[in-house]
Amino acid sequence: MIATQPTESKRVLIDLALATPLILVVPVGFGLLLTLWDTELNWAALGFGAAGWAIALVLRSPVALVAGRVSDSPHAVQRSVMFSSGPLEETARLIVLILVGREFGVAFSIGLGWAAAEVVYSLVNGYVMASLNLRTDEKAAQARQQLQELGLPSQVSPFWGILERVSASALHIGFTLLLAMWPLLLLATIPVHSATNAGVMAVLRESVLRAQGVVAVVGLALFLVGLAAFGKI
């Protein structure tokens, strides 16, 4: 088992390098979809969307800190951060929309920026995890043990990331379009967002395929409903 670990980890790292260009193409592909509606990408809105995602991510740190002080259980901390993602991200998303604009092209660009930032983050995280699995020091072993305690796979084929980024991008753009059209839907997007994350984490322990299926179904549905809200389909 110990002998095969480095070999398997190296293969994951190589696969990640091969999958990276395809994963980076995902936000580009969604951006090109705007041409279907004779709409140009709003680069400023794209940047604001990425910034909104980053701010929501930073705001999770205090949640994790407080949860860690209340409980020593990795599961409890994970659940706290997971359920905070809905309120933090959706509130930040609505604030960005109010400040930047709620027209279709602007809202789509904000959602795309949100998704693109997450793409970069997921890739960086993927390389960190792949490098972690190559290490044999005590800290790396402890980190892998924590993943096992959470019920998460320590090594997953990076090619799953392509489907994941397509689904997650559709989800973020869909959420953004819906909030742009009906801001009061914040009361619905918050629980839907948190529930989707909870469902993915619960199913991921059993099957990566089923977990990806959850995100794909929810993401596609939100994307299509968001487009329909603006009369684009």
Q: So what's the pLDDT on residue 63?
A: 84
List C-alpha distances in Å: 120 to 173, 183, 195. 16, 28, 24
Q: Tell me: the pLDDT tens digits for 125-176?
A: 888 887 777 776 676 666 656 555 444 555 567 888 899 999 999 999 999 9
Residue 145: predicted pLDDT: 60
Q: How far is CA 120 from the centre of its chain?
A: 10
Residue-level pLDDT at 77: 77
Range of the domain at 220: 4-229
Count CB-CB contacts under 10 A for residue 121: 13
pLDDT value at 231 more than 80: yes
Instruction: Give pLDDT, residue 3.
Output: 44
Residue type, 214: V
Structural contact between residues 108 and 34, judged by C-beta atoms closer than 8 angstroms: yes
How long a stretch of residues is the chain? 233
- What is the rounded distance in angstroms from the CA atom of residue 112 to the CA atom of residue 173? 6
Q: Match 């924590």 to its residue by tokens.
A: 146
CB neighbours (10 Å) of residue 110? Answer: 34
Instruction: Please give the tally of structural domains in the chain.
Output: 1
- Identify the pLDDT of residue 172: 98
The tokens of 141 are what? 């072993």
45-90 pLDDT, tens digit per residue, is 999 999 999 999 999 888 878 877 887 777 777 788 888 999 999 9
Of 218, 232, 27, give the one whose Cα is nearest residue 122: 27
Q: Residue 48 carries which side chain, given as an amino acid letter?
A: F
Which positions ≥6 away from 119 have C-beta within 8 Å?
A: 23, 24, 26, 27, 165, 169
pLDDT of 194 reads 94
CB 30, CB 173: distance < 8 Å: yes
Confidence band of 214 (pLDDT split at 50, 70, 90): very high
Cβ-in-10-Å burial (0-12, 13-18, 19+) of 1 comes to: exposed
Query: Tell me, what's the pLDDT at 67?
Result: 79
pLDDT digits (tens, 9 = 90+) for 118-128: 999 999 988 88
% of residues, the chain, pLDDT over 70: 87
| 3-state secondary structure at position 53 | helix
Q: What is the pTM of this model?
A: 0.89
Per-residue pLDDT, 81: 82
Task: Name which of 3-17, 72-86, 100-114 the model is least confident about.
Answer: 3-17
pLDDT of residue 147: 55
More confident residue, 221 or 161: 221
Residue 47 carries which DSSP code? H
